[in-house]
Structure 1
Amino acid sequence: MAESPIISSMVLEPPDQEDKKNSWDLFPWKDFPGYTQSQRCASTSSWIWQFGYDIEKSDDDTKRRWVCKVCVDSRRPNPHSAASSGTQNAGIHLWNDHKVCDPSGRRKPPSKAKEKTPSRNIAEMMKLNTRDAREQQIANQIIGRFDRLVFQRLVVSWIINSNSFFRQSEDPYLRAAFEYLNPLVKTTEAHITHNTVRRRILQVYEENKAEIKRVLPSRTT
């Protein structure tokens, strides 16, 4: 399956990283010793995560917490936090304290998010003591530098450029190599299946169909 370089370049284009980076600038880490940015992608579909930070205990990533962004942005002492599975409590806080509700208007009160069984934590793997401010900062820098979506786009782009089978993304040795280079590939569940690869390529094709049809004839003449 030969693919146009146009698709590859569009898959490779990363999202804007500045907003992601700046969103943590105000976070009061001193109020949450032993915590880091969450490495998990689960349980963030509820609307309340638009208004909260996702953190986890470095030595036990089953202990994830939602921390109110509105409290943090307004410099409120002791910002409200709740267990990640207790999103209904977070929704009640947002309404009672900030008059913020589900922007879509579909959920009143918000539904409870479902927790997934987590895997080993990056801070634990690197033997970082996140109760120490310096090591907590190091853990957050490591986590913050890895973007799950960018990694997945790079894998898809590699498959396109090398004209590889979609199932190459599921090769256990390739996955082991990715995890060896960066354990966050595993802890953030960043691996993709052949179905995901196919869906991403078709999505890029549909989004850029007109441009691809315009360019391809000129390359065959």
Structure 2
Amino acid sequence: MAQSTNANCRAIPSITPSTISSDLDAPPSFDPSDTNREVTIDTSSSVDYTGYEGIDWNRLSGYCIRKQRRRPRTGWVWEHGFDIEKDGSGRRFWLCKDCHGKKATITHMYDAASTSQANGHMEDVHRINRDGPMSPQRKKQRTLFDMADLDCRRPKDQAVMNAFIASFDPVRF
């Protein structure tokens, strides 16, 4: 069935039969003895490789690029990881780009059903959170006053602190 276009530029089916011949009407020819025929498969339109640069698939046996996305990836952690899936299962995983690029001995791959594990990995290992690089964290050494919850701004607590300090004998310690 041919199509015609009206003034509104909409395609309207016409009742006039098409006279253009099609290869679909003829059965395909197949010669099993012809093994020298070159086959070309166009995958450029079926899978988008953007964002998968630098991934070493030889180290990820059984995994592939995520084929379908039901929802867009919106979390900040996806900027730092690859969206991959287990072949055939459709199970989705987050793979750390930095660890994979550095060829870490442990594969830093987490189930992508929830990104909390990936968030924790980025914070603990790479010191990055949703706001960007985190400042180096030093553990504050707790003092006896911290443990006793004494505050020098309260007069009674200040008196107790002074008594502790005055009673300290380094020789006895």
Determine if the TM-score, normalized by the shorter chain, exceeds 0.5. Answer: no
The structure that is strand-richer by fraction is 2
Higher relative CO (Cα under 8 Å, sequence separation at least 6) belongs to 1
TM-score, with structure 2 as normaliser: 0.43
TM-score, with structure 1 as normaliser: 0.35
Larger Rg: 2
